[in-house]
Every structure is written in structure tokens, then in C-alpha cells.
Amino acid sequence: SHSISSNIVLLTQAFRKKFVIPDFQSFTSHIDELYENAKNLSGGQVADYIPQLAKFSPDLWAVSLCTVDGQRHTVGDTKVPFCLQSCVKPLKYAVAVNDHGTQYVHSFIGKEPSGLRFNKLFLNEDDKPHNPMVNAGAIVCTSLLKVKEQHFFPLYIKAEDIVPKCVFSCTYCSCLISVFLQCFPEGTDMTSVLDLYFQLCSIEVTCESASVMAATLANGGICPITGERVLTPEAVRNTLSLMHSCGMYDFSGQFAFHVGLPAKSGVSGGILLVVPNVMGIVCWSPPLDKLGNSVRGIQFCLDLVELFNFHNYDNLRHFAKKHDPRREGGDQRVKSVINLLFAAYTGDVSALRRFALSSMDMEQRDYDSRTALHVAAAEGHIEVVRFLLEACKVNPSPRDRWGKTPMDEAMLFGHHDVVTILQQYQENYSLPAAPDGQERTEKSLDSLL
């Protein structure tokens, strides 16, 4: 009983289907299909310049997701640990902004895409690294972390999760120090900063644990599993903005165009994808394309927004051939029926025309099986009755739960003009045939205008 009482909100949401993805089973079946589609890809090369990465099989492929409600789904090799590598960069930046605020952090780091390879050692015209998603910016960002507080996603980052540090040449480090020393806060110990930088890149996660990190970003900084606030809304907003513009190496612009979601990739084959206010998704497959992104991961992301209206600029009301898993079927139907019947009750033909043009079912019924035509006939709204019959071609004689038709209602309340028009349409009415293409649709729309 204690476990029930402590999770009563979650359980209530489940029973009422109030989750952000109401039909989670149907949604995850689509995710599994997208996973299988991408699994068939065979291109790309596993990164071999870091020994810890070269050992991975190119056949490994995993997808995990966690919604802002804490619903989770995994498919594939989701329990195999891998290094975060560059996927840690947005998390570091978020913690830095969380600790210091936007203004302080960006006094050391820019906000613009660089147009250069992620490992190029260049500064912008203000002598700052271009953004926190390139190596130079991520190293400066590391120097801003309050390491002693250790609040950096403490549930998932443990001492034993840190793999042996990647070996970088002394020349690289010397170059960094000489070029970038001016970019750091005063008194920065470069050796300890670089040491921490390499350790953070080498943190091990699984797809499952990383998806909770992504979901925390999707949930405005609140961990959907614990309910604990990990990051400020400001830190999350900034992080998602930079992931959107700079998160996918030299593919960032194309990814923003085609996928339209904040994401960050790493050379270990991971992609951290955020659907704001909905879920976090992590894809992992070691083979990389020429730009350093997971071949299967990119394909999965492209297929995801092809199937669902998750792209940042998909219109949530008017979209063709895309699913919206956020839509609550029951709630939407109830609202739709209420709006339709109320417009019929008040005689609001313009509202009814709007509903018809947006493809609403004009024959839908309430809990008593009454239609808009029943209501309009009972109220004597002849213009509404005419619109429903002439423009919408509704059935003129549907029966409610008591067996009453709209004509029965009109006769009961003495609306003889309504009775006359209903009689005319009843005599000539025949059930509509199935639509036969676009021409019929266009004619139907023309009659509404």
C-alpha cells in the first residue's frame, strides 16, 4: 500500500490516460518499426582514434526514450555501456548556466555556430570559443563547473562509471594552453581543467540512463523519475537553443532543417535528442558518417519526424499524413462534440462552417446519441438545419437513444418550416458512397464556402 500511495499521482494519470503520450503502446510499436528500419543500414565507420571506442561492434544499435511523465521504452542493445564523449557537452553547459547564470557563462563563451570542425582551435572575433558544443568552448565550460558540489546528474554518474582517460598528446594540450589561456577565468588550473574535461567525456552511460538525462532537458530541468529539479528553466532553454543550432557538428544546419529538434551527437555513436515538453530519446550505434554522426541514429531521427509531427515547425493543428501521439483521443472527441452541439444550439452557422472546413465529423453524437441536427431542429434554427443538410450532407433522419429523429423534435416544438425542409431531404437522401479521390473532396469543400 505504501508503494501505491507514494505513486498515486502516476497511477491516477495512468488509469485516466492523462500521460503526454496517451496511447503509449501504439507509439512504442512505431518506435520499434523505426528502429528495425535503421537497423538494416550498414554504412559508416567506427571511430578508431580512441582505443576505448575502436573495440565496439558496428552491429550494436539501441534506442531508449523517457517521457516527461516517466514512461520509458527501450529497444536493442540498450544496456551496453558507452562513453558520452561530446554528448556530455550540453549537460556541462547546462550545469554551468545553472550555477552561474547566462551572462557570466557567455562572458567566456560565444553562442554562434562556428562553421568549423568541432576540434578546430579557433576563437571568434571577441576572442572567445564560438559555442559550448565545440571542444574549445566545452573546455572553457569545464573550468566553470563547481566540481565539489557534485550535483551533475548524481543519480547516473558514479566514480566507477569513469573509464580510463583518453590519451591526448602533450602537443595538443600545450597548444590549448597557449591559445586559450586568455579565455579562462583568472586563476584557472589548466591541468585540472583538462583532466576533468577528459573524465567527463569518458563517463559511461547506457541508452537507458542517458534517456533520463535527455528527458530532464525535455521536462524543463525536472527529472521525470525522481521529480527533483536538477536544472533551472533558464539553463535548459539556453541548452536546447544551442543544441538546435550547434549540436550536430557540421551537420547542425541540415539537422535543424530536416529534423527541427535539439540534439547532440558524440563520436562514440550516441545522439541525445530532445522533444521539448514531451520526451528525451537517446540513439546509439558506433558506425559514424563522414561528419562524425551515427549513421543509424541520424536515419532514426529523420524517420521519427517523418512519421510524427515533432519537428519544431510542424503545425500542431494542420498537418498532413503525420501522427500526433500527444493527442488525447477521448478528450478531443468530447470537446469536439460539445463545440459542435453548442454551435447548433445557439444557431452559430459561421462556427459550424469553420468546424466543417477543419474536417470535423458533423454527424458525431453525444452520450444520448443526439446529433447537431437533432439540436438545431429542436431549437428551430432553420439556417443551421439547411447548412447541415445542404453543405455537410448529413443524414436527415438519425435516431437518438429514445428513437427520436430531428423531424420528431421539430414537430414536438412546432417548428413547421424545419419539418418541411427535413421532409424534402429525407425523400431524396441516400447514404454517401466512399470518397473517390481529390475531386470529390474539393467539391465538398466548395459547398461549405
107 vs 101, 172, 183, 408, CA distance in Å? 10, 25, 9, 76
Q: pLDDT-based confidence at 128, cuts 50/70/90?
A: confident
Q: Say if residue 81's pLDDT is above 80.
A: yes
Over range 106-129, report the average pLDDT: 74
Three-class SS of residue 265?
A: strand
The residue written with cell numbers 516527461 in the block is: 68
Three-class SS of residue 125?
A: coil
Q: Using a CB cutoff of 8 Å and minimum separation of 24, what contacts does 315-321 make?
A: 317/358
Q: Say if residue 343's pLDDT is above 70.
A: yes
Over range 330-358, report the average pLDDT: 87
Q: Which residues contact 211 (CB under 8 A, 6 or more apart)?
A: 64, 65, 66, 72, 74, 280, 281, 282
What percent helix, strand, coil does the chain show, rounded to 5?
A: 50, 10, 40
Q: How confident is the model over 209-232, as pLDDT tens digits? A: 999 999 999 999 999 998 899 999
Displacement of CA 113 from its chain's centroid (Å): 23
Q: How confident is the model over 244-290, as pLDDT tens digits? A: 999 998 899 999 999 999 999 999 999 999 999 999 999 999 999 99
103 vs 231, 236, 289, CA distance in Å? 16, 15, 36
Question: What average pLDDT does the chain have?
Answer: 84
Q: pLDDT-based confidence at 329, cuts 50/70/90?
A: low
Question: Residue 15 and residue 10: Cα distance in Å, rounded?
Answer: 9
The residue written with cell numbers 467539391 in the block is: 443
Q: Say if residue 194's pLDDT is above 60.
A: yes
Question: Residue 92 and residue 117: Cα distance in Å, rounded?
Answer: 20
Q: How confident is the model over 416-434, as pLDDT tens digits? A: 999 999 999 988 887 665 5
| 41 φ, ψ (degrees, to nearest 5) | -70, 145
Q: Say if residue 180's pLDDT is above 90.
A: no
Q: Is 40 exposed, middle or buried (0-12, 13-18, 19+ CB in 10 A)?
A: exposed
210 vs 16, 161, 272, 379, 393, CA distance in Å? 28, 13, 8, 59, 53
Bridge partners, residue 271, by sequence: 265, 283
The reported pLDDT for the residue numbered 117 is 55
Candidates 299, 272, 300, 268; CA nearest to 286 is 268
Q: What is the CA radius of gyration of the chain?
A: 29
The reported pLDDT for the residue numbered 64 is 98
Question: Residue 378 and residue 311: Cα distance in Å, rounded?
Answer: 45
**Domains of the chain by start residue, with CATH:** 20-307 (3.40.710.10), 329-448 (1.25.40.20)
Q: Which residues contact 186 (CB under 8 A, 6 or more apart)?
A: none
Q: Say if residue 174's pLDDT is above 60.
A: no
Candidates 191, 199, 192; CA nearest to 173 is 191
Q: Which residues contact 442 (CB under 8 A, 6 or more apart)?
A: none
The reported pLDDT for the residue numbered 171 is 36
Question: Residue 56 and residue 284: Cα distance in Å, rounded?
Answer: 11
Q: Say if residue 348's pLDDT is above 90.
A: yes
The reported pLDDT for the residue numbered 172 is 52
Are 267 and 249 in contact by the 8 Å Cβ rule? The answer is: no
The reported pLDDT for the residue numbered 381 is 97
Candidates 176, 175, 103, 94; CA nearest to 141 is 94
Over range 117-121, report the average pLDDT: 56
Q: pLDDT-based confidence at 331, cuts 50/70/90?
A: low
Candidates 383, 379, 382, 389; CA nearest to 424 is 389
Q: How confident is the model over 34-59, as pLDDT tens digits? A: 999 999 999 999 998 888 788 999 99
Question: Can you read off the three cell numbers belonging to residue 351?
Answer: 462556427
The sign of the CA dihedral 310, 311, 313, 314 is: negative
Q: Which residues contact 359 (CB under 8 A, 6 or more apart)?
A: none
Q: pLDDT-based confidence at 123, cuts 50/70/90?
A: confident
Question: Can you read off the three cell numbers belonging to residue 170?
Answer: 602533450
The reported pLDDT for the residue numbered 157 is 45
Question: Can you read off the three cell numbers belonging to residue 6?
Answer: 507514494
Extended strands (E) in 204-262: 204-205
Are 133 and 243 in contact by the 8 Å Cβ rule? The answer is: yes
Candidates 277, 166, 162; CA nearest to 218 is 277
Q: How confident is the model over 350-378, as pLDDT tens digits? A: 999 999 888 788 999 999 999 999 999 99
